[in-house]
Every structure is written in C-alpha cells, then in structure tokens.
Amino acid sequence: MRRIPWSLSLSLLCLGCAPTQRQALDPDAGPPEVVPQRLVARIVHTYPHDPTAFTQGLQFHQGQLYESTGGVGDLRRISLEQAAPLWVQPLPDVFPEGLASDGTRLYQLTWQDETLYVWNGTPPAREKQVAYAGEGWGLCFWQGQLVRSDGTATLRFHDPKDFRVKSQVQVTLEGTPQERLNELECAEDGVYANVWYSDRVLKIDYATGRVLAVIDASELVRAVRGRIQNNSAVLNGIAKEPGTGRLFFTGKLWPDLFEVKLEPATP
C-alpha cells in the first residue's frame, strides 16, 4: 500500500478548507445569511372589529388607535371596546392603504393613486398631499423616515417632508426575495410585514432587509374561519402599542382584532 506523502496530505486538507478561507477574505462576499427565528402568534385577548372594514393599515397615534381602510375607504379612529368606529373621514375617490405616525402627523398611502395624505390635529385634518411614483401598500415610521412597501420584495425609505426616496433594501429569507409585502409596523427590533394572502408575518432587519423571524399567525386565521365569506378577507393589520409593547393583529373584513404574544415555534 502506497503512503500519501505528509506534504501532500497537508495540501489535500487545505483544499478542503480553501473555499471557506477565500470566502472569509473576500470583501464582496458579505456577512453570512441569518437563520430566522420561527415564532407563533398566540391569542391573548380578542376584541370586536368592524367586519365591513377592509383593513389596510393599523396604527397607534397619540394614544389612540387608527385604521386605514380600502375599497370605498376612509381614515378612522377605532377602539378595543366596540366594533363601530369612533370617528370616520371618508375617502371615496381613492383606494387608501398603509398608515404611519411620527407622533405628530399621520401619513396615509393610496394604492394606485400615487398620492400620500398627511393628517394633523385632533381629529385629524388633511394638512397636505404629496405625489409619488408607484404603488402604495404598507407604511410605517422609523428614525425620521417613512418605510414603504409596494407589493414587491423591496422596502423604500422616504423623507417625510417631500416623500423623496432616500434608500431601499431588498427583503430576503435565507437568500430568497420575499414578495407581496403588505402592511408594515416599525418596531425597535425590526419592521414587521404582513405577506399578502398568507398566514405569515415577517420581522425584517432595517439595514440589510434580511428576515429575522417568520411568525406563524394561523391560530388567528382559524379563529375567524367560518365567520368570513370573502376570499379577500386575509390577515392584514399590525399595530404595536407604544409604552406597553402590546402587539395587535387583524385582517381585512375580520370580525375580531387580536392582541397576541409571540412564542418560539415547537419543532
């Protein structure tokens, strides 16, 4: 039996590790992909929700809960005590979408009307409207910028003053682009995004677009099943309450609004 020379053995070992070394030294390789957490949304409390509201945006603003509804849409203030809205501003000429708050103003997208509405005061009055290019799906506010989804895998970061696009990231899950991003909620630990026509909510890193967690919200879908008859009545609507950190999910045309807690998924 022929022995492999000691020097050749070292060379063969190096061949096995060389790709990893090159990847580590390659400045264009980027950081390794994040393995996302797998979480489950568990129902903590169930509250009444208007089953005629085609929910597009859900947002806490100055201690109150607001909702943007599509179709023959509106901006409305709602409560956890009753399904009927407390205040409504109809918007019959556009299809309203995502809703965001900077603490002083509310910002409301439109789907294909390429118009952003800016609201101020109590009750909110329209302060101005700003034109933009493309579709509007979800919207949230983070560190002086408005974050917009448009149904693609791209999140765009806008200047609130003129809605100019300042930067953008592509959202990926272990390297795969994630499309149909819809309603957004900006939080300290990432931006939460509904995935249209799914039971999933993604938590996304602001800087890289990488999915940090995949949230299974199928328990909520099962809770309303049998009480909704419309195929468009899908999971949509995320709001995190400032101060308490309570997290709320709902859906288009859902009769319930849920306070949820996130738990690790069991294998």
pTM metric for this prediction: 0.88
pLDDT at position 23 = 39
Q: Please report the DSSP string for 4-17 in residue order.
A: PPHHHHHHHHHHHH
Q: What pLDDT does residue 31 have?
A: 59
Compute the average pLDDT of residues 166-186: 98
Question: Residues 231-246: pLDDT tens digits?
Answer: 999 999 999 999 999 9
Structural domains of the chain in order of their starting residue, each with its CATH number: 37-264 (2.120.10.30)
- Please give the full DSSP string across 68-108, using - where no structure is assigned: EETTTTEEEEE-SS-SS-SEEEE-TTS-EEEEEE-SSEEEE
Closest CA to 105 of 120, 117, 126: 120
Using one digit for the tens of pLDDT, what is the confidence trace for 136-170?
999 999 999 999 999 999 999 999 999 999 999 99
Report pLDDT for 7.
41
- Distance, C-alpha 5 to centroid of its chain: 59
- For residue 151, what is the enclosing H or E element? none
pLDDT at 12: 34
Q: Name the pLDDT band for 46 (thresholds 50, 70, 90).
A: very high
The angle at the Cα of 64, spanning 53 to 41, to the nearest 5 degrees, equals 65
Q: Specify the higher pLDDT residue, 20 or 49.
A: 49
From the list 28, 38, 11, the residue with the least C-alpha distance to 202 is 38
Task: Place 92 in a pLDDT band, splitting at 50, 70 and 90.
Answer: very high
Helix, strand, or coil here: 50? Answer: coil
Report whether pLDDT(16) > 80: no
- pLDDT(20) > 90: no
Provide the pLDDT confidence category of residue 65 given band limits of 50, 70 and 90. very high
* Pair of tokens at residue 5: 């020379």
Summarised one tens digit per residue, pLDDT across range 96-144 is 999 999 999 999 999 999 999 999 999 999 999 999 999 999 999 999 9
